[in-house]
Amino acid sequence: MPETVAVARLEGYDSPPLDRAVALLLETCGSRPAPGERVLVKPNLVNSSNSVHCTTHPQVVRAACAWLLDHGARVTVGDSPAFGPASKVAIASGLAQAIAPLGLKTVSLKRAVPLALTCGGTIGLSRDALEADRILNLPKLKVHCQMTLSGAVKNLFGCVVGFRKALAHNRLGHSHELFRSMIMDIYLALPRTTHLMDGVLAMHRDGPIKGEPFPLGVLACSDNGVALDTMAGAMLGLSPARVPLWAEAIARSLPGTDPAALHYPLERPDGIDLDGFVLSEERELSFAPLRLLQGRIRSLLKHFAKN
């Protein structure tokens, strides 16, 4: 059975066209929540540095949250950056200001629960994510210096609690096979998830943090994160051999890995102008131990200074 990917073309983040597009995409994917349903909205809040370009656009998050609230959902907006609170990134990116009129704020995902990994060992996955009735995953489409492409599946790595992500990079970063397996384990462990990808202004040249905006003009949605990432990879002219998480999905025989088998009920991601689009220069997966220690010390000092 073909996996559905709903696509809308947008030139920018202006409302009301953005609001209409978000509503259409979520409705097309059958994502309307039941009244009182607890929905975790999970944007990409990777870092305060270059946050205007490396995070999910605030207006996409606002539009999605407004749609959920209009249908009676109980909405929490949360993420877990490797260093520092999600609220800091939300302020820097403009997300905090965008969702405040809705009565919402951004929280850090906490309460780590050990998830057994296929490759051995465990990872601390947030109970806040595991206990949601459903997740609305809002990735930013970005090139990635270690995984080639960051999309729906990779964004859910942010459900790992805080510093544990950096430790996972350090422990598993010597192997793309181990690292991609861990991320796919996380993807498969989470509750029902709808994925709405912000590719209106994608990031190219140096992702996931230091890159530059690229006008793809695409907003896309699916209940299958693998299918959504497959659409993005194929749209950018990439192959599974070039994208570790795509290769991992194929190795696990997950649905949604064949671009030719995807179903597009709305627009198709064809004819996108990719002139000038540049992938990141590849770098090692692991984080240096000294950087881990320095980042942890800075985080602890800031925490104690506030308390």
Instruction: Look at residues 235, 207, 199, 197 and name the one whose alpha carbon lies nearest to residue 143.
Output: 207
> What's the mean pLDDT in 81-105?
95
pLDDT digits (tens, 9 = 90+) for 109-143: 999 999 999 999 999 999 999 999 999 999 999 99
Helix, strand, coil % over all residues of the chain, rounded to 5: 40, 20, 40
pLDDT digits (tens, 9 = 90+) for 261-278: 999 999 999 999 999 999
Query: If you ran DSSP here, which 8-state letter would residue 12 be given?
Result: S
Structure tokens at 27: 């409705």
Q: Which fold has domain 6-298?
A: Rossmann fold (3.40.50)
Ordered by start, the domain boundaries in the chain are 6-298
The length of the chain is 307
Coil, helix or strand for 160? strand
User: Is-above-0.75 flag for pTM?
Assistant: yes
